[in-house]
Chains A and B, each alone.
Chain A
Amino acid sequence: MNEPTATGIGASLRRIEDHRFITGRGKYTDDIQRHGQVHAYLLRSNLAHGEIRHIDTAQAKQAPGVLAVFTGADLRADGIGDLPVGWMTTNIDGTLMFIPPHPVLAVDRVRHVGDPIAVIIAATLSQAKDAAELIEFDISDLPAVANIDRATAAGAPLVWDGAAHNTAFHWQVGNSAAVEAAFARAHHITRIDLVNNRMVANAMEPRVAIGEFDEGRGEYLLHLSSQNPHVARILLATATLKVPEHKIRVISPDVGGGFGSKAMHYAEEVIVLWSAKKIGRPVKWTSERSEAFLSDRHGRDHKTHAELALDANGKFLALRASTIANLGAYYSTFGPAIPTFYSAPLLVGTYAIPAAYCDVRGVFTNTVPVDAYRGAGRPEAAYVIERLVDQAAHEVGLDPAEIRRRNFIPPDAFPYDNPLGAQYDSGNFGVGLEKALALADYAGFEPRRAAAKARGKLRGIGMSSYIEACGAGPSKIIMAAGAGSGMFESATIRVNPSGSVVVVTGTHSHGQGHETTFAQVVSDKLGIPIHSIEIVHGDTGRSAFGLGTVGSRSLAVGGGAIIKALDKVIAKGKRIASYILEAAESDILFENGRFVVAGTDKGISFPEIAFTAHAPAKFPSDEIEPGLEETAFFDPANFTFPAGLHICELEVDPQTGATEVLAYTVVDDFGNVINPMIVEGQVHGGTVQGIGQALLENCVYDPDTAQLLSGSFMDYCMPRADNLPNFLVDYIVTPSPHNPLGVKGCGEAGAIAAPPAVMNAMMNALRPAGVTELSMPATPLKVWQALRAAHA
């Protein structure tokens, strides 16, 4: 056992990478200038749906500074493939989902506002933009469907001719017969209709790509603001660019946030590489914020009807739900996975519900493709079950805390197989609940409500008990469910002769602080100082393989690979040490950075072994290879299941509908915690995004024209610090048995738990005034309208 240190596991070490970030010395993709670099600008459709009749680029090609103008026809003629979908969902009848084409640049039709039509490459970005205005195009205006209601209405226009009723797939999970039987004997049934509002990720750094081609070696180099460089490379190699994988290197340097939206394979990545070869110059494309609204993958956008059957004691008997998910105009890389596999199996939440069933219908609309956004499916599930449970508590006259207590999966039931196919690893939901209730002074709420009422305010308190599946993934499980590849992780530990260590991981850090957290794991395990460790990520040329940072997987899966590789390094170190210390290998222990002979004071430090490994005179180099570098791959046995409880307390101004969040309590179970400060930061960030979804953010399309109405920060309302209270954050710990570190993942939890906690608090505030339903975001207008309707 190693002693706890200031830099080891459990230490709130300040983030190593922050010095360069906060002093402006981070190096983001747009900071990179390649020799001879030119600029690409994409002409995008201003219509939601239309037939491309004619594109004339002749004038634009003659404009000052312009090197080339390309359209979809040029890419197609060169054999560039469609953007692929990486997840195959099966219909209820066993057939495969409808798969439409997804050209890199639109060819015959445009299908959403922002669909790219042409790329202009010029010496400067201004020249490219000016030239874009000279492209003449004739696009006939076809009727468009802007949202789920319009897409599913009788006689709706079709986004894809082959997809009747705009249905992409109709999928199911669970046991409907068992559910029907349970509902038939229910004492009470609670029903709810919910909308999970559409989100735009809005990473601080917009997407950027620089493509270049080395003609001498026939190699492509892509600098890309991405969460997932290896996945970009494999899809470029196999689907779009179609060149051998080893001829493409993808580097994702410092990346300013992603929230899921930088995990997919995008058209611009193909365009900059292909055109760089075409014109013989490096080509840079940098998204503007307006362009990000129109081209980054959006998130959420579900409508769900759900029902919960209860017995006379308020115990849950069964759950059934039916969801329609808006997928946008095309499949994004992981689009079909989000509302199905990554959402529905968690609909039963933290409760022992014996029977459950859910069907999900994916629909196409003339909107930006929808994919993973912080939580990716799990927030949608948590929102359904947590609002449903609160509604049920209200209807049967139980306190929201009490109905949860009665129905939690008991701590001795783990591993717990839920009725929708997920096996929960560990948890202790009741303990987390009681801890959160105490921290939030839940028992003392009613006097606070009364005091608010005297001030003319409606005060409410609400909670949500979330559970999520992280640590994707167990390759066997996800590939059986439709994934196009596994989701294991790799790590290489390279020990330099002087004892410093380079750790190469296939995950990616775009704000999460991995350079610190991963270094703490290594420092703890090897007993070496934190400044002797360098974490390398985001480069397909340096790491063996990886599946990026998505779904709170990096520590659970990437950390597992690091531990496995460290174990190999230590094992080899022991073998070498046994020669130096002249003891049997089985007698060598590794403690606090030293290889020691058990029961003696004989030992040798880790740096000395590192040097010895590279100076192989004192051990037989025919038996033990010189050097000290190990690579490991880790494919976990199952997902991890972080869980926790959020409590939100707020006040509503009934005359204006304005809401103020006054107190916010979080008790999470993330398993073991490596750096509590970083984890708390992740909780804050996620919770802010969840509160944003509940109260502020909404992506709105005009219902008739499918024009994006919330296309800038003037209209898309991001949360700010002054919209938020201080957060009270605490933990319980039930380690996950599914990875060597016992960690579960923390990146998405806040965004999952907060929307239902806030909305349950809103309903708690508004029910006494007669309000019976309210949808996200609970804007001043909606609250005001709900109160008016209640009084009418």
Chain B
Amino acid sequence: MKPAAFDYHRADNLQHACELLSSSGDDSKILAGGQTLIAMMNFRLARPKVLIDVSNIADGNQVLDEDGGIRIRATTVQRFVENSESVQQRFPLLCHAIEHVAHFQIRNKGTIGGNLVNADPASELPAMSLAFDAEFDIISVAGRRTVSASEFFVTYYTTVVAPNEVLSSIRFAEPPKNSGWGFHEVARRAGDYALAGSSAIVTLDAAGKCTRARIALFGVAATPVRATAAEDVLIGEAYSEDLLKASARSVQSILDPESDVHVTADYRRSVAEVLTVRALNDAFRRAKAVQ
């Protein structure tokens, strides 16, 4: 064993997990797919006293079609979502983004909820929750609350989920008809965390004018970023290269990236703009194709 010593409980269901959390104190952690937590524990950078394992609860993998959206159980492994026909048809951008999360071996274990609660801003899924106006269903022994994606992420690796709470499910809203999507990222290698990434959904009216837009970026700030100012530039406008450039230009000013061993903050800002143009280009092209 590489990690420091810890106690282990296996939860029967998420309610049971909440009970175990409330009785175990603040040094307890939910173990889902363990694809980040176990590595951090092996480095002894994370030292929870208690692990509460939710990886074996009944019906852990669940993707439910709802009116106007889809609800994914937090314990659902990423590969299950990626392989869901419903997600493939209704949320092709989400599938495409999940394919960029590490490698399929990891996605066979890593969960949707684990990824989102880990809140790595360079990961693709937190940005997807912004792009799809996601709502997070959070439970504890005290009850249940719903938090929108715009409120969920606090800073690096930090969300509003309190130590005694468990993320139960996430609802992704389906974009309107006549929408198209785009997704671009730069990573050192396939499967690595993005150095910078951008995703877009645009909805066009019959005249080809943009009626709704979502632009969500990752790897460029302490949280995933929804670029509402860049979206506003598009509303009421038809496709042009200049329009996309103008929209993407406004992205740079709202980003506050960090430098690391791979790239500088300047690189991230500049490339975020480039990738936003590319994502928008694809989104407009796809939206036109479905008209």
Contacts and interface: CB of A to CB of B under 8 A. Distances in A.
B2 A288 contact: yes
B251 to A, nearest CB: 14
A129 B261 CA distance: 29
The secondary-structure label for the interface of chain B is: loop
Interface stretch (B110-118, B187-195, B208-216): B187-195
Contacts, number: 54
Contact of A784 (B5, B188, B270, B275): B270
A696 interface: yes
**Looking at chain A, what size class is its interface with the partner chain?**
20 to 34
Nearest to B188: A717
Interface in A282-317: 288, 290
Contacts of B43: 290
A451 interface: no
B4 interface: yes
A723 B189 contact: yes
B261 A784 contact: no
B263 A720 contact: no
Contact of A722 (B190, B263, B264, B270): B190
Contact of A780 (B4, B5, B263): B263
B274 A656 contact: yes
B1 interface: yes
B189 A781 contact: no
Contact of B262 (A125, A130, A781, A785): A781
Interface string A111-148: 00000000000000110011000000000000000000
B271 interface: yes
Interface residues of B, number: 21
Given A720-B190, A780-B186, A715 B262 contact: yes
Interface in A680-734: 696, 700, 709-710, 714-715, 717, 719-720, 722-723
A710 B263 contact: no
A779 interface: yes
A780 B260 CA distance: 13
Contacts of B261: 700, 709-710, 715
A290 to B, nearest CB: 7
B218 to A, nearest CB: 15
Contacts of A126: 1-2, 5
Contact of B188 (A125, A129, A696): A696
A713 to B, nearest CB: 10
Given A130-B4, A700-B261, A710-B261, A780 B267 contact: yes
A779 B262 contact: yes
Contacts of B192: 717
Interface in A753-782: 779-781
A655 interface: yes
A785 B266 CA distance: 10
A696 B189 contact: yes
A658 interface: yes
Contact of A656 (B5, B193, B271): B271
Nearest to A126: B1
Given A130-B4, A717-B189, A720-B190, 20 more contacts: A126-B1, A129-B2, A655-B274, A656-B186, A656-B274, A657-B271, A709-B261, A714-B193, A717-B188, A717-B262, A719-B189, A720-B189, A722-B189, A723-B190, A779-B188, A780-B186, A781-B263, A781-B267, A784-B270, A785-B267
Q: What are the 6 A-B residue pairs with the smallest beta carbon separation, nearest first? A: A655-B274, A781-B263, A126-B1, A656-B186, A717-B188, A709-B261
Interface of B: 1-2, 4-5, 43, 186, 188-190, 192-193, 195, 261-264, 267, 270-271, 274-275
